[in-house]
Amino acid sequence: MSSNAVASSNTYEEIEVEVNILTPYLPIAELLNGGIIRLAGLMDFFNVDSFLEPTWLKSEMISDEYRGAIKYVNICAIDSQVGAKIFFF
């Protein structure tokens, strides 16, 4: 029995392009009772530009800091995928 599978490794740049295409389509953040902000994502990636009312942050951080934190989470998720094997059949 033979296999025609070919393995390839992801590069940071390849994953970053895919994430930049994917993230605008991810769910937006929502405010829950008690002031908790819930982020819904996909495969550890989150929408950086999801709707956020500045009042949700309660002066704990500014909107740019919030976006920067979400971008950092996405960067860490990209780093975790670099070198992962993809199999093509």
Q: Which of 56, 16, 13 is nearest to 36 (CA)?
A: 56
Of residues 64, 61, 63, 25, the one with CA closest to residue 45: 25
Buried (b) or exposed (e) across 60-87, using 16+ Cβ within 10 A? eeeeeebeeebeebbeebbeebeeeeee
Q: What does the pLDDT read at residue 56? A: 85
Beta strands 30-31 and 41-42: pairing type?
unpaired
pLDDT values of the chain reduced to their tens digit, one per residue, 89 residues: 555 555 567 888 988 998 889 988 999 889 998 888 898 888 889 998 886 788 888 888 888 998 999 999 999 999 888 877 665 55
Confidence (pLDDT) at 68: 92
Q: Is 6 left (phi over 0), alpha (psi -120 to 50) or beta?
A: beta
pLDDT for the residue 53 = 81
